[in-house]
Amino acid sequence: EVAVLRIGHRPERDQRVTTHVGLAARALGARGMYLAARDPGVVKSIQDVTDRWGGEFFIEDEVKWRRCIEDWKADGGVVVHLTMYGLRMTDVIGEVREHAKVLIVVGAEKVPGEIYALADYNVSVTTQPHSEISSLALFLDHLSEGQELDREYPDAAIRIKPSQIGKKTIER
């Protein structure tokens, strides 16, 4: 089981990025996202996508991040904090993959220092600055070794019929 914890979200400026963190998490195989802020707009847009496109992705806002991390660990899970300053993903991903429960923490502008100590792994994707969306996407892809890319969403109301030209969809 893989879930994402989004911290540092500022409703007045991070809505789009946080929504995309959630959509990337869903599309790339995570079970859900905890949001350490209150933002009904983000919750609704992710729920709307899940309702239409299928799957069981959960989105929970107003989560206390410290509590979320502690509960995850108490449940036997491992916590991975994505930060450009961390250990190289390529060096630790094999070890992380051995764990059944993985919580991936991504920040916004400034991450509280305490997170580094609470995390079991501080992991950098490339050791270059980029974004929470790209680092999460790459981490999830490597974690599942590409297995999530052709996943099916059997209960979907709408599906895409992949095609070279045009926009073909199948509605249930």
Restricted to residues 17-56, the positions that interact with ligand SAM (CB under 6 A) are none
109 is in an annotated binding site: yes
Pairing state between β 121-124 and 78-88? parallel
Question: How many residues belong to the site for ligand SAM (CB under 6 A)?
Answer: 18
- For residue 60, list its beta bridge partners: 34
Interface of this chain with ligand SAM, residues 50 to 79, rule: CB under 6 A: none
Which residues have a Cβ under 8 Å from the Cβ of 14 and sit 6 or more positions away?
A: 8, 108
Structure tokens at 67: 């509590």
Site string for ligand SAM, 90-129 (x = CB under 6 A): ----------------xxxxxx------------xxx-xx
- Residue whose CB is less far from ligand SAM, 59 or 89: 89
Give the residue nearest to ligand SAM (CB).
Answer: 107
CA dihedral 140, 141, 146, 151 (to 10 degrees): 60
Q: What is the DSSP string of 27-63?
A: HTT-SEEEESS--HHHHHHHHHHHHHH-S--EEE-S-
**SS3 per-residue string spanning 8-19:** CCCCCCCHHHHH
Residue with Cβ nearer ligand SAM (46 or 106): 106
Q: Is 147 in the site for ligand SAM (CB under 6 A)?
A: no
Q: Is 146 annotated as a binding residue?
A: no
Binding residues for S-adenosyl-L-methionine: 82, 107-111
Sites of contact with ligand SAM (CB under 6 A): 82-84, 106-111, 124-126, 128-132, 135
